[in-house]
């Protein structure tokens, strides 16, 4: 039996460009907790603009992004829209079902097995 995964590696399609021009593409996202989804609702930025919730939420669950010292809302705000969309999709996938694997069947031999779909940017 496989171990329960709580962290998932990713590669951004474009990458976060820091103030020095360095591009950071590889990172890690952890599973969200109830607090990760509830506490940002108290943030005045989210109350003023509900769309800002994704920025706060991702800044809480992304544990690493290249050599960036701390992933905070300012870093998430600096992402290209394609990278933000990629991270939102990853967040929804890993927190929705708890697994990335899909059960499929071979069309030739009818054997069933699991596959993990490739992610955009990987």
Does the residue 93 lie in any domain? yes
Give mean pLDDT in consecutive 10-residue pieces for the chain, a chain of 122 residues: 85 97 98 95 95 97 97 97 97 78 67 58 44
Does the residue 121 lie in any domain? no
pLDDT of residue 108: 72
Does the residue 21 lie in any domain? yes
Does the residue 1 lie in any domain? no
Does the residue 122 lie in any domain? no
Does the residue 65 lie in any domain? yes
pLDDT of residue 44: 95
Does the residue 68 lie in any domain? yes
pLDDT of residue 120: 46
pLDDT of residue 104: 64
Q: At what angle do helices 81-96 and 53-61 cross, to 10 degrees?
A: 70
Residue 30 is part of which domain span?
Answer: 7-115
Total domains present in the chain? 1
pLDDT of residue 3: 76
Q: Return all residues near 52 (Cβ < 8 A) that are at least 6 apart.
A: 43, 45, 46
């Amino acid at each position: 039996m496989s171990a329960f995964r709580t962290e998932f590696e990713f590669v951004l399609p474009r990458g976060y460009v820091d103030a020095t021009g360095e591009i950071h593409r590889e990172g890690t996202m952890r599973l969200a907790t109830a607090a990760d989804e509830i506490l940002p609702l108290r943030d005045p930025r989210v109350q003023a603009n509900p769309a800002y919730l994704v920025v706060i939420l991702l800044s809480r669950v992304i544990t690493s992004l290249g050599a960036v010292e701390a992933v905070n809302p300012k870093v998430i705000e600096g992402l290209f829209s394609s990278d933000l969309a990629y991270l939102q999709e990853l967040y929804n996938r890993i927190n929705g079902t708890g697994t990335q694997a899909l059960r499929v069947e071979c069309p030739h031999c009818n054997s069933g097995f699991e596959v993990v779909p490739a992610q955009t940017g990987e």
